[in-house]
Amino acid sequence: MTRKVLVTGGSGGIGKAVAARFRRAGDTVVITGRDGARLAVAAKEIDAEPIACDAADPLQVQELADALGAELDVLVNMAGGNTDFGRPRASSLHEVAESWRANLDANLLSAVLTTTAVLDKLRPGGTVINVGSIGAEYAGSGYGAAKAALHAWTAGLSAEIGPRGLTANLVSPGYIEATDFFHGRLTEKRREALIAATHTGRAGNPDDVAATVEFLASQGARHITGQTVHVNGGAHTTR
Ligand SMILES: NC(=O)c1ccc[n+]([C@@H]2O[C@H](COP(=O)([O-])OP(=O)(O)OC[C@H]3O[C@@H](n4cnc5c(N)ncnc54)[C@H](OP(=O)(O)O)[C@@H]3O)[C@@H](O)[C@H]2O)c1
């Protein structure tokens, strides 16, 4: 059976690698992003269908849901990023509120809105895969706290949709290179420190995450739900 897959934030970085993997497996893949021109280029490159959408905007998310068609099998909530990058350090409470709300919108509300909008389309056997971050383990910023909330919400979502034959999990990447996540601001010293924190001695790459997402959407993962799956080379360990 050909599956229908939606990857938000599929126009670059990890999302594009995830979308390309599903497409290579023969699935029908829809990708989203805010920058329509970039989205169109990515869609052509990987043979996906582009629908421009800001996942943090309820109106745009409703339009996306309306355009999707009646049925969906896999939702990957990849859209997100640290909205503090490039923003001057908050010097007033107003700015603190602004920066935290931006990260909550980008990383938590984006997934909640998209999932809510398409939930009724998911067929039995379907899955929701949210994308968190190793930053959730330390949560010393709006970004980390938003991702931590996304981790927690995923567990509740799993309980809610499990009875319908659906699963929900979260993939939590560590440092992944070859993305625009750091907006070119990652210093060599910080990069070396991120790699030194791993047991594998290397940065992750988008396909490391894509392979894990592909597995969680596969038949072999039908009894895995409500979990956080870490893809970080051992930089944060669990038991
Ligand atoms: N790279 C890492 O080291 C790393 C580590 C841990 C977690 N993550 C997480 O992995 C996910 C993907 O990040 P990445 O590293 O691949 O970054 P990226 O290269 O910057 O890609 C982000 C993608 O999401 C889209 N996007 C961002 N905000 C969006 C929104 N509001 N609505 C729709 N699309 C949106 C971007 O396109 P537009 O800008 O055109 O919208 C782009 O396609 C994010 O959730 C990030 O927090 C990344």
Q: Which of 22, 143, 175, 181 is catalytic?
A: 143
Instruction: Looking at the CA of residue 204, tell me the nearest atom of ligand 1.
Output: 3
CA of 182 to the centre of ligand 1 (A): 10
Angle in degrees, CA 77, 138, 19, rounded to 5: 20
pLDDT value of position 139: 86
In a domain, 238, yes or no: no
pLDDT value of position 98: 97
Q: Is 34 in the pocket of ligand 1 (CB under 6 A)?
A: yes
In a domain, 236, yes or no: no
Query: Consecutive 10-residue runs of the chain (239 residues): their mean pLDDT?
Result: 95 98 98 98 98 98 98 99 94 97 98 98 98 95 98 98 98 98 96 98 98 98 98 97
Per the structure, the count of domains in the chain is 1
pLDDT value of position 225: 98
In a domain, 120, yes or no: yes
Q: Is 179 in the pocket of ligand 1 (CB under 6 A)?
A: yes
Burial class (CB in 10 A: 0-12, 13-18, 19+), 231: buried
Catalytic-residue membership of 175: no
* Under 8 Å between Cβ of 30 and 48: yes
Residue nearest to atom 17 of ligand 1 (CA): 181
Residue 154: strand, helix, or coil: helix
In a domain, 201, yes or no: yes
In a domain, 212, yes or no: yes
In a domain, 237, yes or no: no
Q: At 157, which CATH number?
A: 3.40.50.720
